[in-house]
Structure 1
């Protein structure tokens, strides 16, 4: 384990962090295109195999802010190792899974690795020179979207040449190497938050997240008016305000409500919710659109899983390049401006898919614009959150931001699934208008994200570390006070 007397070069630390983020992001998306293959191999049905995605979503949504918060308190480096080990163990179990039940359990274990992202941002803020933070945060944040795109590109060839088991073996090897490198090269966190871990708050937060995401992700198959779906929504409506009240009254909150009320934090979180609705829905439904047999339906391109992934390669490359250059753009124009441009590009790219999707070159151009928007927006949102909160709360703040984006993705995917499949053909395939209307919904959410981004406060003066002892509430209150010079 790297000591604190001799700090590891920040560039080495950055490579280790990127390896961890890349491993997590690959596991987010590589499984999606091959669910039918897993369904056949494990002799299950479509309703059951979707839990391979749902278990991962639920687990990641619960553990991302919790692991980030524990990292703020006990040390980000050691929790990074814990998160990477969980990813590796879950990947090993998934690769060897003899049944669908074991695979679902393995995916739930992998979800613990969601803490990698907020821990990464916290370590960057702790270890990097101030002028390097924005670029490093932007690149690592964009890697999450890049990994999602690469997963779609690689899934088909891996399954064709090897088997679906290698969708887990490859990330497992990456994660093991990243965990070892983190243990030996990533230095211990110099910043710690005092106080205990609030277990009751963690349980309450986990409860409302699980009830909400279960209802949203399974409502389409269970029926939106079914007793179980309605019951889960009612439970969420009860548990969420109970959790907020408990956190507000706690002397050691898991999520400090004063921090969540900081103008920059709540507006960026709203952008994340809206942006997540569009981005994750695109990851889910664009491959399906490309794979639709055009000779049967009159739309789509009849692509295989491998071909549809390659068609989205331009989007992935654009996301990566936008993430790399986002730091320079933010230094020159500000992270808010980068976010507004990124969200606007996302809206234009989605609008293009609505009005012009008959030729492959059109779709390639539009998805490349989407990739630029994804990369710029991911980077800008992360930088705005990191800059807006006290250094001791970087992990939990960025964890909640990532979590809210995940919730948005679940909501967007559920809405899009309902719209796309509202009018199906006799053969079960959606009609073209289903995709057109679905992408139209995402134009609205992306446009709203761009509009909200315009009103994100710009911090003119900021004191990141306040000398002397502070309670968590005092730190968050100081962060809010630092925004009195904000301009809108």
Structure 2
């Protein structure tokens, strides 16, 4: 029952990331706004989730993960209901900000699994939850068209609102109280600084294309993000009760995993964002298929299916060959899918095959990255470490979307449609990103399966090995 609640919670949050993407033009017309303003329906959710994900995770580590899970689900439910009822763009944007509170469900889910599950089931459970988070981004694009055609876009919010409300009630009664908590007070200043630099950075990345990358606003936000980030690190290092332990973030097992997450988020979200545009391009352009919203979403369906199936099997892969090896293999598989998209995209079946392959690669990567993070930190830091990993993936996605947009639109026809070469160059770039992710994954410290399972439950049989996260395992034991 606990796992069912966690799965529904994470799936709902993930779906809300992408459900509205294909129908922004319809929302724009219905709410009587302009194209620049309607993009805030996406931007507001991204910014809010990026701020709340690590903060909710950290508070959960301190006061109880089950309590904060209910709070996150209530935020998703209330935000969804307000969005469903919105008749103007203002309330819609406010609703999306409230929904962002739900970003905390991912780190909370990982923490609850670590606290409550038998040790042999933890890698598989974490893998499935991580896969659901990735699958949701693709499934949202697939479901949006049929839901809007059968009902209307308001049901893109009514359905998640009802589901998350039920999940919140179930979480209150079903999910056990956290047995592991972090002592100490919650630091306010680090939370404010973290929120400030994330907002500045993601606002610049998300609005750079419309404002202009060399505009004063974008450059000012980037400078502010750098200054605030430096101030945040300095405050965290001097704090007696830091929001995010900088020592933890510098551990080899943590920073390497986070860097892989950044690169994979960069490539995956960029491909999800531009494949529908590619397929919807009229055939008169010399490429594309003139697909409808529903048809373009269905082309992404194979990746969602294979991603979820691989997530179910990830625990077995982790036990057989270890998470580091799985991440390397997954990155190379995903790179091959982007190469197919770059050089073989004249037929629909080629896109179906490429997406199915990408789902296999990304499913392997995300499932194992989450396991590595959960295994790499003490139990009381699971929530905040998982939250930052998810946040870094989101930042990677924002950067990837911005860079992909610049490459795709570098050369356009007189009617404004991008030329085929733009997409080809963009997918080549994403291929390179996955290859670099594989190279970075080689730097992740290698540990035995037995050591991972021991530390996932915090009760090692060989305490002399030390924490996996320390990255200090030497000699033959490091193998």
Q: Would you say the 8 A contact 1:259–1:479 is kept in 2?
A: no
Q: Distance in 2 between matches of 1:412 and 1:226?
A: 20
Q: Which structure 1 residue ranges, 4+ long, deviate > 6 Å from structure 2? A: none
Change (3 A) 1:379 1:480: closer
Q: Would you say the 8 A contact 1:42–1:100 is kept in 2?
A: yes
Residue correspondence of structure 1 range 24-39 to structure 2 within 5 A? 24-39=13-28
Q: Distance in 2 between matches of 1:466 and 1:384?
A: 14
Match of 2:66 among 77, 95, 101: 77
Would you say 1:167 and 2:156 are equivalent positions? yes
Deviations 1:250-291 (A, max 9, x none): 110000011101111000000000110011111111111111
Deviations 1:310-361 (A, max 9, x none): 1221111111101110111111111111111111111110011011111111
Q: TM-score, normalised by structure 1?
A: 0.94
Q: Distance in 2 between matches of 1:443 and 1:311?
A: 19
Residue correspondence of structure 1 range 284-303 to structure 2 within 5 A? 284-294=273-283, 296-303=284-291
Q: TM-score, normalised by structure 2?
A: 0.95
Instruction: Measure how far apart 1:455 and its partner are.
Output: 1.5
Would you say 1:442 and 2:434 are equivalent positions? no
Q: Distance in 1 between matches of 2:361 and 2:424?
A: 20
**Structure 1, 326-335 or 78-87: larger mean CA deviation:** 326-335
> What's the counterpart of residue 391 of structure 1?
379
Deviations 1:171-221 (A, max 9, x none): 111101111110010000000000111110000011110111011110111
Q: Would you say the 8 A contact 2:252–2:470 is kept in 1?
A: no
Q: Which runs of 5+ in 2 are unaligned?
A: 460-465
Residue correspondence of structure 1 range 149-164 to structure 2 within 5 A? 149-164=138-153
Would you say 1:148 and 2:137 are equivalent positions? yes
Would you say 1:382 and 2:370 are equivalent positions? yes
Instruction: Measure how far apart 1:487 and its partner are.
Output: 3.9
Q: Distance in 2 between matches of 1:233 and 1:208?
A: 9
Would you say 1:307 and 2:261 are equivalent positions? no
Q: Distance in 1 between matches of 2:14 and 2:470?
A: 36
Residue correspondence of structure 1 range 120-131 to structure 2 within 5 A? 120-131=109-120
Match of 1:344 among 310, 319, 332: 332
> What's the counterpart of residue 421 of structure 1?
409
Match of 2:419 among 431, 447, 450: 431
> What's the counterpart of residue 320 of structure 2?
332
Q: Distance in 1 between matches of 2:83 and 2:75?
A: 12
Q: Distance in 1 between matches of 2:214 and 2:403?
A: 14
Q: Distance in 2 between matches of 1:487 and 1:355?
A: 41
Match of 2:56 among 53, 67, 85: 67
Q: Distance in 2 between matches of 1:372 and 1:479?
A: 27
Q: Would you say the 8 A contact 2:280–2:290 is kept in 1?
A: yes
Deviations 1:137-188 (A, max 9, x none): 0001000111112111110011111100000001111101111110010000
Q: Would you say the 8 A contact 2:253–2:468 is kept in 1?
A: no
Instruction: Measure how far apart 1:84 and its partner are.
Output: 0.3
Q: Distance in 1 between matches of 2:330 and 2:100?
A: 28
> What's the counterpart of residue 473 of structure 1?
none
Deviations 1:51-100 (A, max 9, x none): 11000000000000000000000000000000000000000000001111
Q: Which runs of 5+ in 1 are unaligned?
A: 1-11, 468-476
Deviations 1:440-483 (A, max 9, x none): 1111111111111112102344664779xxxxxxxxx9665474
Instruction: Measure how far apart 1:484 and its partner are.
Output: 2.3
> What's the counterpart of residue 92 of structure 1?
81
Across the aligned residues of Structure 1 and Structure 2, the Cα RMSD in angstroms comes to 1.4
Deviations 1:100-137 (A, max 9, x none): 11111111110110000000000000000000000000
Q: How many residues end up aligned between the 2 structures? A: 467
Any idea what SS the aligned residue of 2:473 has?
Answer: coil
> What's the counterpart of residue 474 of structure 1?
none
> What's the counterpart of residue 356 of structure 1?
344
Instruction: Measure how far apart 1:33 and its partner are.
Output: 0.8
